[in-house]
């Protein structure tokens, strides 16, 4: 099959099933979703005053009765400091469990130690929004027979709700929990802020284990995760490397290039028509994205414009803007630095939200649908404004879909910020290796060499031009960049599909093929 972006998609993949081709950002959401089955949350029951506390993670896992072919879920709020996933997979391996489907909200370098378990048949399938480090490289060179499925944060909720992912066991790591399993990430020595991605796991998994290094007297407040979903509670010495979980305050980039891009992006936003009182806003934590917030903050103060809400990954920079009264509310599905936890704990306008409310396309309106402006990064972007945030310039899986396509589709103004090239590698390309977010969802691209406007939005281009913004045609920019960097040697791919990029609605937007080494 050829999908609406011209990407070739197989009809069927062994171990995954029948595939549906991507047909446009809102095509399935406009028609066809009604036939999508949803699955019931499991039925459970327990007697009163029963003890849920297990003596060890191993004890809890044994009580959950793991089986070959099981699906296990994890959340990535501990970022690169998580140690519980590796411990869990080690225990399952020692128990001889095979053929596990690993459904993690994201995978980081800290998960490299599970690589041998991909090679020995312990783990045979992976669902994740991102894969990095040695895992990404190994998968890209064919470590698994069944392709990994890359989903968005909203798509993951949809996948669980519709039964594409059917969790047998969910591991929920908390920086504070009580004996009944009420749990949070907002307090304790390993505080990591919001636990928003794990809430759907708690609701749908047949068994749920809460792991904490901080057992508090009942009840654990806030009730980010509630006891009615929790089967077992494990108290452990450490839930991870605190220096990688709780890493202070996210700083604005000092890179002159990123700052220049950020300033240009803020200028474009200012004149886009969406920088209005009551606007809502989301920015990422990396590179130029967060720096855009700095310039927008200045502009908000100068023009006395106050916004409605900030959404998504929340940094201490967002907290500052909340405290200054620039925004009314923070909706926090994932906290990017430790300084955020205290705000979450004490400010009732800093609200932890489940991933379902954040970005699930299959409901009455997630919050990304309510976004005015989002600023996003890119590993590559092409002349059709298609964005790649999953594979690197070498073709290896090394990024994350995250909330990219969720927010891009919902926002009234989607701004992609990136340098036009990195090293000698062009970022603006004729065709990206892998599409994660379709070009139709991107309004403008801002690089250090100027701002490109998606031709779908002529009106926006006129607005920016009349405000004196340096607007360039993306085709011209692409050629300009090529003339500087030269055209990189093509990557050699084999036929084998190692990854499927699922769009948030469950259709397949692209495939990732094995890199020939």
Per CB under 8 A, residues contacting its own copies are: 26, 29-30, 33-34, 36-50, 52, 161-162, 180-181, 208, 217-219, 221-223, 226-231, 278, 308-309, 328-329, 331, 346, 348-349, 351, 353, 356-357, 360-371, 409-410, 412
Q: What is the largest CA-CA distance in the chain?
A: 72
Which residue's CB is nearer to its own copies, number 327 or number 385? 327
Closest separation between CB of residue 460 and its own copies, Å? Answer: 16
Closest separation between CB of residue 226 and its own copies, Å? Answer: 5
CB 246 within 8 A of CB 190: yes
DSSP characters over 281-295 = EEE-SSHHHHHHHHH
SS in 3 state form for 10-33? Answer: CCEECCCEECCECCCCCHHHHCCH
Neighbours of 465 (CB within 10 A): 14
Which residue's CB is nearer to its own copies, number 368 or number 391? 368
The 3-state DSSP composition of the chain as helix, strand, coil percent (nearest 5) reads 30, 25, 45
Which residue's CB is nearer to its own copies, number 249 or number 342? 342
Which residue's CB is nearer to its own copies, number 41 or number 235? 41
Closest CA to 161 of 509, 504, 510, 508: 504
Closest CA to 215 of 173, 175, 170: 175
CB 105 within 8 A of CB 221: no
Closest separation between CB of residue 102 and its own copies, Å? Answer: 23
Closest separation between CB of residue 404 and its own copies, Å? Answer: 16
Which residue's CB is nearer to its own copies, number 193 or number 410? 410
β-strands 17-18, 12-13 pairing: antiparallel
DSSP 8-state secondary structure symbol assigned to residue 441: G
Find the angle CA(43)-CA(45)-CA(49) to the nearest 5 degrees: 155
Closest separation between CB of residue 370 and its own copies, Å? Answer: 6
Q: For the packed helices 287-303 and 316-323, what is the interaxial angle rounded to 10 degrees?
A: 10
Closest separation between CB of residue 168 and its own copies, Å? Answer: 15
CB 105 within 8 A of CB 74: yes
Closest separation between CB of residue 344 and its own copies, Å? Answer: 11
Which residue's CB is nearer to its own copies, number 183 or number 390? 183
Which residue's CB is nearer to its own copies, number 290 or number 376? 376
Q: What SS3 class is residue 125?
A: strand
Which residue's CB is nearer to its own copies, number 142 or number 222? 222
Q: Which helix (H) or strand (E) holds 202?
A: helix 198-204
Closest separation between CB of residue 325 and its own copies, Å? Answer: 14
């Amino acid at each position: 099959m050829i999908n609406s972006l011209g990407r070739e998609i197989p009809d069927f993949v062994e171990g995954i099933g029948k595939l549906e081709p991507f047909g446009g950002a809102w095509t399935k959401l406009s028609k066809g979703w009604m036939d999508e089955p949803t699955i019931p949350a499991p039925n459970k029951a327990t007697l009163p005053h029963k003890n849920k506390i297990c003596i060890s993670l191993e004890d809890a896992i044994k009580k959950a009765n793991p089986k070959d072919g099981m699906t296990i879920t994890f959340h990535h709020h501990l970022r690169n400091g998580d140690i519980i996933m590796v411990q869990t997979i080690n225990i399952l391996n020692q128990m001889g469990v095979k053929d596990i489907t690993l459904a993690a909200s994201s995978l980081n370098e800290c998960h490299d130690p599970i690589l041998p378990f991909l090679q020995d048949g312990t783990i045979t399938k992976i669902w994740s929004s991102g894969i990095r480090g040695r895992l990404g490289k190994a998968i890209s060179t064919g470590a698994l027979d069944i392709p990994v499925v890359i989903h968005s944060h909203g798509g993951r909720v949809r996948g669980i709700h519709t039964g594409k992912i059917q969790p047998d066991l969910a591991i929920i790591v908390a920086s504070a929990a009580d004996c009944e399993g009420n749990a949070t990430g907002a307090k304790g020595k390993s505080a990591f802020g919001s636990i928003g991605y794990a809430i759907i796991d708690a609701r749908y998994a047949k068994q749920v284990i809460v792991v904490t290094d901080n057992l508090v007297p009942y009840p654990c407040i806030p009730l980010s995760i509630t006891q009615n979903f929790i089967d077992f509670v494990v108290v452990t010495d450490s839930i991870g490397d605190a220096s990688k979980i709780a890493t202070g305050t996210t700083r604005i980039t000092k890179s002159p290039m990123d700052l220049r891009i950020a300033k240009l992006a803020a200028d474009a936003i200012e004149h886009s028509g969406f920088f209005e009182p009551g606007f809502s806003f989301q920015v990422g934590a990396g590179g130029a994205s967060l720096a855009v917030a700095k310039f927008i903050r200045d502009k908000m103060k100068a023009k006395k414009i106050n916004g409605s809400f900030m959404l998504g990954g929340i940094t201490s920079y967002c907290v500052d803007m909340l405290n200054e009264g620039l925004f009314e509310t923070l909706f926090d599905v994932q906290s990017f630095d430790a300084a955020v936890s205290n705000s979450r704990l004490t400010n009732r306008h800093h609200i932890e939200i489940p991933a379902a409310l954040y970005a699930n396309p299959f409901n009455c309106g997630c919050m990304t649908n309510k976004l005015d402006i989002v600023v996003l990064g890119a590993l590559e972007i092409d002349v059709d404004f298609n964005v790649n945030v999953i594979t690197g310039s070498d073709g290896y899986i090394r990024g994350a879909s995250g909330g990219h396509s969720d927010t891009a589709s919902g926002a009234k103004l989607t701004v992609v910020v990136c340098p036009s090239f990195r090293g000698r590698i062009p970022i603006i390309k004729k065709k990206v290796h892998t599409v994660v977010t379709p070009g139709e969802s991107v309004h403008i691209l801002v690089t250090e060499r100027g701002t490109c406007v998606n031709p779908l939005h002529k009106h926006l281009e006129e607005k920016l031009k009349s405000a004196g913004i340096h607007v360039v045609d993306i085709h011209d920019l692409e050629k300009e960049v090529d003339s500087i960097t030269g055209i990189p040697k093509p990557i050699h791919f084999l036929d084998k599909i190692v990854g499927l990029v699922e769009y948030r609605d469950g259709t397949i937007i692209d495939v990732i093929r094995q890199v020939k080494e």
